[in-house]
Structure 1
Amino acid sequence: MSKPTDVSRFFEDLDGGVLAERLGTILSHAAGAATNNPTKKAKVSIDLIVSNIGKGSQVAIIHKLAFKIPTEHGDQAETHTTETVMYVNQGGEMTLEPKNQLDMIGHAHRKPTQQRQENDQ
């Protein structure tokens, strides 16, 4: 049985959160440019290429964010391409960290704050 990838989390994880932040900025800029130039249209596109890494359960996600925004006398365009490695968990769900990762040794820095305070008393 397949388990769908959490799309919101997926986009937040791509490029360490930079892609989602950049997308938000570009969408706002595109909307403003389209409003200022009502006879022209802005275009924003995201291309995702998923490829296997070796023989394990990891994939490389190449993400390309491109936009073309109208200006008063033409347009402005840019393409930005980066890559993020993701784990493929049981059912096909992609996450930044594997779901089956164990907390090795139980390091104190991984414990919730309340539990650390209780242990210190």
Structure 2
Amino acid sequence: MSNTANNLVDIINDLDAGVFAQKMERAMFDVAQGVIDTSKSGKVTISFEFKRIASSNQVAVKHKLEFLKPTKNGKSREENTTETPMHVGVRGKLSLFPESQPELFDRQGHGSPSASDAAH
């Protein structure tokens, strides 16, 4: 795998500003506890849908989390869908920011020369 490849953990943590990862964690904990409490099976399903944003190098990533938690008298089902815009870089690398975005400020907080050059 090349150095331009994404780390899946980083991508998941970028979705919905980290909230999606927290929802995944909570769903897995709740389903696992339901399985232990009832000895019935549970299920967590995660799906992603990608759509291009206009003619840009961005995609809208729709992320859906569904889970089925077994309960004493049946089951509890929940579904949550949110969407995050992501930039697509070299070889499909996904990130919140474009790979070529210039620094806007230098270490002292002044406008960076590279940022003002890019604006012109």
- Superposition TM-score tier, normalisation by shorter sequence: 0.7 to 0.9
Aligned length: 109
Q: Deviations over 1:35-91 (max 9, x none)?
A: 0111x1110000100111111100000001000100000100010000000000112
- 1:7-22 → structure 2 map (5 Å cutoff): 7-22=8-23
- Normalised by the size of structure 2, how large is the TM-score? 0.84
Task: Give percent identity, aligned residues only.
Answer: 30
Instruction: Return the alpha-carbon distance in structure 2 between the equivalents of residues 91 and 106 of structure 1.
Output: 30
- Normalised by the size of structure 1, how large is the TM-score? 0.83
Answer whether contact 1:2 1:91 (CA < 8 A) is retained: no
Q: Deviations over 1:15-45 (max 9, x none)?
A: 110000111111011111000111x111000
Q: After TM superposition, give the deviation of residue 98 of structure 1 in Å.
A: 1.0
Alignment partner of 1:23: what SS? Answer: helix
**Structure 2 alignment gaps of length 5 or more:** 111-120
Alignment partner of 1:59: what SS? Answer: strand
Residue in structure 2 matched with residue 93 of structure 1 by the alignment? 93
**Structure 1 alignment gaps of length 5 or more:** 111-121
Instruction: Return the alpha-carbon distance in structure 1 between the equivalents of residues 3 and 53 of structure 2.
Output: 20
| Displaced runs of 4 or more, over 4 A | none
Residue in structure 2 matched with residue 59 of structure 1 by the alignment? 59
- 1:1-121 → structure 2 map (5 Å cutoff): 3-38=4-39, 40-106=40-106, 108-109=108-109
